[in-house]
Amino acid sequence: MATNKIARVTEDVHRELSAILREVKDPRVKDCLLSIVRVEVTNDLSYCTVYVSTMEGLERTKGAVQGLKSAAGYVRRELGHRLKLRHVPELIFKATDSIEYGASISRILRDLDIPPQEPEDGEGEL
């Protein structure tokens, strides 16, 4: 039962943080394509680790994380107003390069030039 609540709160936090981050006025956050990759909430709802990434690379993401850390009080207050939680978890922002990594893998796969396979007899027909 508790894992369902944690999963639901995690989804709610992810959704609301995405909306709140669009409202942050810090130029380190506002001037980049910031994406929330993953949200992890502890079992007692005291801490929430938010993994963020940008298309511009890891260094740009680290700058955005510094902006998010300075705006953490505002973000936490807004999160509390929107979710109506008794205890709003403390937000911990971490930079990750997963979007840049995924884009580079996509580029590599696109550059392979693998010809499409023809379906053999009986395959692909209904």
Q: What is the third-level CATH fold of 2-110?
A: GMP Synthetase; Chain A, domain 3 (3.30.300)
Write out the chain's pLDDT in tens, 126 residues.
467 888 998 999 999 999 998 888 888 888 788 889 999 999 988 999 999 988 888 888 899 999 999 999 999 999 999 998 888 999 999 998 877 777 788 888 888 877 777 777 666 555
> Hunting for tokens 């369902």 — which residue is that?
4
pTM listed for this prediction: 0.76
Tokens for 4? 């369902």
Other beta carbons within 10 angstroms of residue 94's beta carbon come to 16
Cα angle 9-12-17, degrees, rounded to a multiple of 5: 120
- What does the domain layout of the chain look like in residue ranges? 2-110
Q: How many CA atoms lie within 13 A of 99 on its CB side?
A: 18
